[in-house]
């Protein structure tokens, strides 16, 4: 490596250390011209691109930034909002941004409530709550199937009719189900 190139590498390293408020390694290359272990350790720990350090190549940085931040990009958040709006049958909310970042607005929070959307998934792409909701839904479905299998044909028909009425009249489902269970218990006791 030429002395001029090494001076540029040292300048980029010092600049990076200044940006990250860290201490740059003293030695960059060993006697054979390879990066020192100290530099490699620093690079891993501080997530510094060696392509950028030695060649000034910003492509790996740009790709890494894009990969890390794509989930929060306004375009991706808009896509998620449109998806949730179409599922919920409501109008999508406008996404407000500042400096390329999605702003948390009252309208966005209200949209999440109305659409039943998980805010963290919508804005950050975090699927943890969605996965847990799917697991919980599957457990609830399995529990409901076990209960339904224990019903007689007449009880199952009554349940179906009861649920249709509750849904069409927008009744409190918990209260309706409590009344249904009570009626089944009384019928079985008779």
Segment 140-177, tens digit of pLDDT: 888 888 888 888 998 989 989 988 998 888 888 889 88
pLDDT value of position 65: 61
pLDDT value of position 62: 65
The first and second tokens of residue 134, run together, are 């799917």
pLDDT value of position 107: 95
pLDDT of 48 > 90? The answer is no
Question: What band does 67 get if pLDDT is binned at 50, 70 and 90?
Answer: low
Q: How many CB atoms lie within 10 A of CB 59?
A: 11
Q: Hey, where are the domains in the chain?
A: 3-57, 69-126, 130-189
Q: Read off the pLDDT of each residue in 50-63 and give the average, rounded to a whole number.
A: 78
> For 100-147, how does the pLDDT look when each residue is reduced to its tens digit (9 = 90+)?
788 889 999 999 999 988 888 888 777 776 677 778 878 888 888 888
CA 26 to CA 39: how far, in whole Å? 8
CA 6 to CA 40: how far, in whole Å? 16
pLDDT value of position 141: 82
CA 140 to CA 87: how far, in whole Å? 21
């Amino acid at each position: 490596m030429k002395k001029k190139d090494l001076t540029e590498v040292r300048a980029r390293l010092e600049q990076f250390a200044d940006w990250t408020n860290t201490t740059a390694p003293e030695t960059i290359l060993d006697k054979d011209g390879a990066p020192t272990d100290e530099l490699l350790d620093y690079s891993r720990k501080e997530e510094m691109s060696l392509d950028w350090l030695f060649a000034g190549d910003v492509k790996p940085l740009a790709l890494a930034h894009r990969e890390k931040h794509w989930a929060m990009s306004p375009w991706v958040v808009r896509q998620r909002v449109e998806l949730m709006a179409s599922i919920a049958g409501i109008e999508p909310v406008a996404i407000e941004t500042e400096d390329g970042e999605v702003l948390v607005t009252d309208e966005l929070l209200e949209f999440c409530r109305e659409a039943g959307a998980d805010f963290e998934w919508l804005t950050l792409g975090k699927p943890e709550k969605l996965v847990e909701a799917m697991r919980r839904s599957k457990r609830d479905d399995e529990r409901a199937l076990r209960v339904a299998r224990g019903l007689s044909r007449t009880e199952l028909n009554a349940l179906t009719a009861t649920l249709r009425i509750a849904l069409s009249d927008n009744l409190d489902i918990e209260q309706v189900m409590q009344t249904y269970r009570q009626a089944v218990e009384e019928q079985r006791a008779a």
